[in-house]
């Protein structure tokens, strides 16, 4: 999933053991929902009292929770570790859906999650082929894990279920489910970028991955660019017939709909938090702790796709070019720990630490420190005061599926007192054109955009931020899920109608 929901999570209730063997059904609704994701919206807590499940639903996960509570159904996912519990009722005080766990052993976690997903597909999807690692044993495990997910989905789904698969971890499950339950409507949402066909072609099992995805009735991407790349890959690698006007791919005797569904945020939730007196008080205290300096904020998982090193170097260039900013501007760099067991991530952590330390040593004076570096996990309630307090958000991913942090930041500035500097290579840049877009590889341009953001006239800043917020309000998280599910239902109905007509002929 996209970055914002992974950075800020908030526990809302505790799970409970449930021993039922069938999916819950909600009367009065046209369908039940089966959500499938690599990670479950929970954490496993072990202490002297034993093992318990604590949900960590937030962001996109919160939307799935709401949909499942409304429609009934099942959420199938890996719990992130070993657990004796196989099924949990959600929410425990008034169960409306079931969370079913997929068990992965240590070898499967190593080869599927840390191997194929995080060292193969993740860098590939972010256009970073030099650091891709492909391994036949890992691909075999990837297939086996996807088969396990698919088998559970085929068993759990009822006759009136809609299956919604999330992301590249489970890319080939749609075709596997289709083989067992051909009557089910199946949707796949791709939460990361999809690279140009020339880059995707380096993947040794490119045909198998595309064919697996095309078991879906509908495949959704964040942007039109990613959609176009996928259509080209289907056409040139599989030889599939692609209708680019209707955005349909004909493969294996089936028509698969593809579409762009930009992921939104819970706009009202973030705006409400930002205007909460307690949050605003914390934001004021935060500013005072930094000497009432101008605050430039960066928030990301510590990932090589996020352009953290380039951001730091761009801020250094800003300080070189603007001596008047010394003791008056501070970069608050929040980096959330991520995939710490993978060497590429530990190497990046060392790089970031070294660059931050070097710049602090070079520019610090009279008690002023140019960079405040926070390497820690943040809950939503702890992160929003930083959004509110900062004058500029500086988000420079080298490539990003969407970047929800950019949207959260804008929602937290209803008074137009902030400005967004955003990488042109983030998926959000296709929507958020009123932001100051920047090439994250150009440290001089990063410095220029920081200058422009800090010096922007209030009238221009207000016009830009107002337009950004209006777009966020109109395309929020609820609208995203509604658009996808209604399109999926419509696509399936049209395909069944066409099949019936063909049979009649």
Helix H, strand E, coil C: the string for 176-205 is HHHHHCCCCCEEEECCCCCCCHHHHCCCCC
Q: What is the pTM of this model?
A: 0.90
Give the pLDDT score at 20.
Answer: 33
Q: Is the dihedral of CA 77, 81, 84, 88 positive or negative?
A: negative
What is the set of domains in the chain, with CATH numbers?
Answer: 3-264+479-494 (3.40.50.2000), 267-473 (3.40.50.2000)
Give the pLDDT score at 497.
Answer: 47
Per residue of the chain (505 residues), what is the pLDDT tens digit? 444 544 544 333 233 332 333 345 455 556 799 999 998 887 777 777 777 777 665 668 878 888 998 889 999 999 888 777 888 888 777 888 999 999 999 999 999 999 999 999 999 999 999 999 999 999 999 999 999 999 999 999 999 999 999 999 999 999 999 999 999 999 999 999 999 999 999 999 999 999 999 999 999 999 999 999 999 999 999 999 999 999 999 999 999 999 999 999 999 999 999 999 999 999 999 999 999 999 999 999 999 999 999 999 999 999 999 999 999 999 999 999 888 888 899 999 999 999 999 999 999 999 999 999 999 988 888 999 999 999 999 999 999 999 999 999 999 999 999 999 999 999 999 999 999 999 999 999 999 999 999 999 999 999 999 999 999 999 999 999 999 999 998 866 545 544 554 555 5
Q: Is the dihedral of CA 5, 8, 12, 17 positive or negative?
A: positive
- Residues 439 and 441: their CA atoms lie apart, in Å, by 5
Give the pLDDT score at 2.
Answer: 46
Give the pLDDT score at 55.
Answer: 67
- Residues 505 and 503: their CA atoms lie apart, in Å, by 5
Give the pLDDT score at 108.
Answer: 97
Beta strand pairing status for 42-47 and 50-55? antiparallel
SS3 of residue 297 by DSSP: strand
DSSP string covering 426-442, please? BGGGGT-TTSEEE-TT-
- 42-75 per-residue burial string, b: 16 or more CB within 10 A, e: under 16: bbbeeeeeeebbebbbbbbbbbbbebbbebbbbb
Write the CB contacts of 274 (distance below 8 Å, at least 6 apart in sequence).
Answer: 280, 384, 387, 388, 411, 412, 413, 414
Give the pLDDT score at 58.
Answer: 63
**DSSP classification of residue 157:** -
């Amino acid at each position: 999933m996209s970055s914002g929901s992974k950075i800020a999570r908030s526990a809302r209730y505790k799970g409970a053991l449930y021993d039922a063997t069938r999916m819950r059904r909600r009367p009065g609704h046209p369908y039940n929902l089966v959500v499938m994701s690599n990670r479950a919206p929970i954490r496993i807590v072990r202490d002297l009292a034993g093992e318990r499940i604590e949900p960590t639903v937030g962001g996109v996960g919160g939307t799935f929770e709401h949909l499942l509570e409304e429609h009934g159904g099942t959420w199938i996912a890996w719990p992130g570790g070993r657990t004796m519990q196989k099924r949990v009722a959600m929410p425990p005080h008034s169960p409306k859906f079931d969370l079913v766990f997929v068990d992965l052993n240590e070898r499967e976690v190593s080869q599927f999650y840390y191997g194929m997903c995080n060292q193969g597909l993740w860098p590939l999807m972010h256009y970073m082929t030099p650091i891709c690692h492909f391994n036949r044993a890992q691909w075999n495990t990837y297939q086996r894990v996807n088969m396990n997910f698919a088998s559970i989905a085929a068993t759990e789904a009822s006759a009136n279920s809609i299956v919604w698969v999330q992301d590249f971890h489970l890319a080939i499950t749609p075709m596997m489910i289709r083989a067992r339950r051909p009557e089910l409507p199946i949707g796949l949402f791709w939460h990361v970028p999809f690279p140009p066909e020339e880059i995707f072609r380096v993947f040794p099992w490119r045909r198998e991955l595309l064919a697996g995805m095309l078991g879906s009735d509908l495949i959704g991407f964040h942007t039109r660019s990613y959609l176009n790349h996928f259509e080209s890959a289907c056409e040139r690698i599989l030889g599939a017939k692609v209708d680019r006007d209707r955005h349909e791919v004909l493969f294996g005797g089936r028509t698969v709909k593809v579409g762009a569904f930009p992921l939104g945020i819970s706009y009202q939730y973030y705006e409400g938090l930002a205007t909460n007196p307690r949050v605003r008080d914390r934001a004021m205290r935060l500013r005072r702790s930094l000497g009432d300096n101008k605050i430039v904020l960066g928030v990301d998982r510590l990932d090589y796709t996020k352009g953290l090193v380039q951001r730091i170097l761009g801020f250094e260039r800003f300080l070189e070019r603007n001596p008047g900013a010394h003791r008056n501007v501070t970069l608050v760099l929040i980096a959330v720990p991520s995939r710490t067991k993978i060497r590429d991530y530990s190497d990046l952590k060392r790089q970031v630490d070294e660059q931050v330390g070097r710049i602090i040593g070079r520019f610090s004076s009279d008690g002023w420190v140019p960079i405040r570096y926070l390497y820690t996990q943040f809950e939503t309630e702890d992160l929003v005061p930083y959004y509110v307090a900062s004058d500029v958000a500086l988000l420079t991913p080298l490539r990003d599926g969407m970047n929800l942090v950019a949207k959260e930041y804008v929602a937290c500035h209803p008074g137009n007192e902030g400005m967004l500097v955003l990488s042109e290579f983030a998926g959000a840049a296709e929507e958020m054109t009123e932001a100051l877009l920047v090439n994250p590889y150009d440290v001089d341009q990063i410095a220029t955009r920081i200058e422009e953001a800090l010096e922007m006239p209030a009238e221009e800043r207000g016009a830009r931020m107002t337009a950004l917020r209006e777009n966020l309000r109109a395309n929020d998280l609820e609208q995203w899920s509604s658009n996808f599910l209604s399109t999926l239902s419509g696509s399936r109905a049209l395909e069944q109608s066409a099949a019936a007509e063909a049979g009649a002929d």
